[in-house]
Amino acid sequence: MISKKAKYALKALKVLTKKFEANEPTLISDIAVEEKIPKKFLEAILLELRNQGILKSQKGKGGGYLLRTPPNEVSVAKVLRIIDGPIAPTPCVSVNFYGKCDDCESEETCSIRPIMLKIRNASLEIYENTSLLDLVLKDTIPL
């Protein structure tokens, strides 16, 4: 399950994707109102996305946030990893955040690991192959 923070990040990025071609910065307050996201929470989310290279910001009059990278090059998976960390349901099947499960003695004999791999692979297929542009073009967020 993805967090509320990740949902808000995707909603905010969808707004910025719609304005990518115009190269117009968007104010945090405008995004917050449009998507009904608490402004302070959104500020922290956008700062994190900026620090991770997804967004850039402009100060002063006419300032705000813009996408740094074309929206067709940013996958939902990348955003989820920045905001929530692992996409996998258990650490032992994570692609980027692999770890041994605390209650598991052996991955080879674990009875639930095979299904966790299937769940991870199915989710990852969707998240990796859905870009920010897809969210706008399809006008749906696969959550």
Mean pLDDT of the chain: 88
Q: What is the pLDDT of residue 40?
A: 96
Domains detected in the chain: 4-67 (1.10.10.10), 71-138 (no CATH)
Separation between Cα atoms, residue 135 and residue 80, nearest integer Å: 14
Helix axes 4-18, 39-51, angle to 10 degrees: 70
Flag whether pLDDT at 127 surpasses 90. yes
Q: What is the pLDDT of residue 139?
A: 59
Question: Which residue, chain included where needed, has tokens 């449009």?
Answer: 34
Separation between Cα atoms, residue 141 and residue 100, nearest integer Å: 31
Q: How confident is the model at residue 92 (pLDDT cuts 50, 70, 90)?
A: confident
Flag whether pLDDT at 97 surpasses 80. no
Q: How confident is the model at residue 112 (pLDDT cuts 50, 70, 90)?
A: confident
Length of the chain: 143
Q: What is the pLDDT of residue 101?
A: 65
Question: Helix (H, G, I), strand (E, B), or coil: what is residue 140?
Answer: coil
Tell me the mean pLDDT in the region 92-118.
76
Residue type (1 letter), 89: P
Q: How confident is the model at residue 125 (pLDDT cuts 50, 70, 90)?
A: very high
